[in-house]
Chain A
Amino acid sequence: MTQKEFRADRPNCSKWVDDGGQPAEELEIGRPSPERSRAANEVGSAIAHQINGPLTALRLYIGEIRQISGRSTEAAAARVSMQQMVESAFQETERICAMMRLIADSFEGPLYPENAAALGRDVIGWWSRRGPERDGSSPPIQTILTPREREVLGHISQGCSNKQGAIRMQIAPRTFESHRAQVMRKFGARNGADLVRMALNENPVRS
């Protein structure tokens, strides 16, 4: 796998589609499946979120130090070298900020905006729960589903249609569907039957 192939095969983060038409996972680095590239973007996003706090503080301090060093009244020679260092530190900080923007930008949101906040919390939560001793395995499904999604999953595993489930939960069918789509995405389910099978295997619902 050459560098060139690697680049050529990575467009700007491919759009994730819920078609499941991919053949069995190919472990070829140059050809990430939509699922894998989405997962990679989510991880990048979670990392960017973690780093953004300290980076924001650093950028503020560096900006302030730079401002102050420009006004300092020390001996000219010392001042120039100090200013050069501050300027370099400032440029490096700006460079890191630009990188973090790119990483954070690659995270594509869910199809339905109403799920955006929940998905964001999931992604961030996954990273914070992931201790250094973990081997990078995916988180257990129970922890990645939101309470609402768990409820939806419960109705699905009891054989409810979208419409029946929506009526039981007293929400719009479209909302039910979008929760269901999120659950499918998180489970990696390819279709409804797949989802029900996984739901029964997991049996995460106690209510």
Chain B
Amino acid sequence: MAALHQHGSEQTPYLARAAARILVIDDDACVGRAIQAIMIRCQCETVLASRAHAGIHTFRTSEFDVVIVDLFMPGMNGLDTIKKIRSKSGVPIIAMSGFRLRNSLDAEQDFLGMAIRHGATTSLRKPFSPPQLVAAIDRSRGMAPPTGEPSL
């Protein structure tokens, strides 16, 4: 995919659908800040939380259009975080992790797949590129939430 990018040919900046408020829950603050830097150009406001509990608290006290959750964090893990948020809201949730796991009996079985079954709308495998990030956000917002009222 990288080979297709000739400088100059890809001038149109990727555009996330209208401005959105994004909550990023990741124990690695650098990842959150990088996402924030990318999303500023798409007129999106990004709020960071470095622990699941803090993230859930922030989610409850404010309005968000998208939540991005890392799967492996100290304390509560991302799967439980997703389940908790999903039980209360139909907000688009993007699960992210670089940690992959294969199962010889079931190739489909990995952490990102588990996240989807726990209620995540879509997933992003780390490390991802800016276009992949924006595409995931657009994808999640374009999809009907599995529970709750439709958000669009």
Q: Which residues on A are within 8 Å of B, measured CB to CB?
A: 15, 45, 48-49, 52-61, 63-64, 66-67, 69-71, 83, 87, 90-91, 94, 97, 100-101, 104-105, 107-111, 113, 116-117, 119-121, 124
Contact = CB atoms under 8 A, between A and B. Distances in A.
Nearest to A45: B99
B146 to A, nearest CB: 20
A57 B13 contact: no
B77 A117 contact: yes
A109 B99 CA distance: 11
B34 A56 contact: yes
Interface residues of B, number: 41
B129 A59 contact: yes
B72 to A, nearest CB: 6
Contact of A55 (B2, B102, B110, B127): B127
Given A53-B31, A60-B34, A64-B38, A105 B11 contact: no
A107 B102 contact: yes
B111 A116 contact: yes
Nearest to B106: A113
A110 B2 CA distance: 34
Interface string B14-42: 00000000000010101101110110010
A118 to B, nearest CB: 10
Contacts of B126: 52-53, 55-56
B101 A100 contact: no
A116 B7 contact: no
Of listed A66, A119, A120, residue having the most chain B CB within 10 A:
A120
Contact of B30 (A45, A57, A64, A71): A57
Contacts of A67: 10, 13, 130
Main secondary structure of the interface of B (DSSP, over half): loop
Interface string B123-136: 00111111101000
A90 to B, nearest CB: 7
A55 to B, nearest CB: 4
Contact of A59 (B8, B77, B128): B128
B105 interface: yes
A113 B111 contact: no
Nearest to A46: B99
A107 B77 contact: no
A52 B110 CA distance: 17
B62 interface: no
A105 B100 contact: yes
Contacts of A110: 103
Contacts of B7: 66, 69-70, 83, 87
A108 B8 contact: no
B8 A61 contact: no
A116 B98 contact: no
Given A70-B10, A87-B7, A121-B77, A56 B72 contact: no
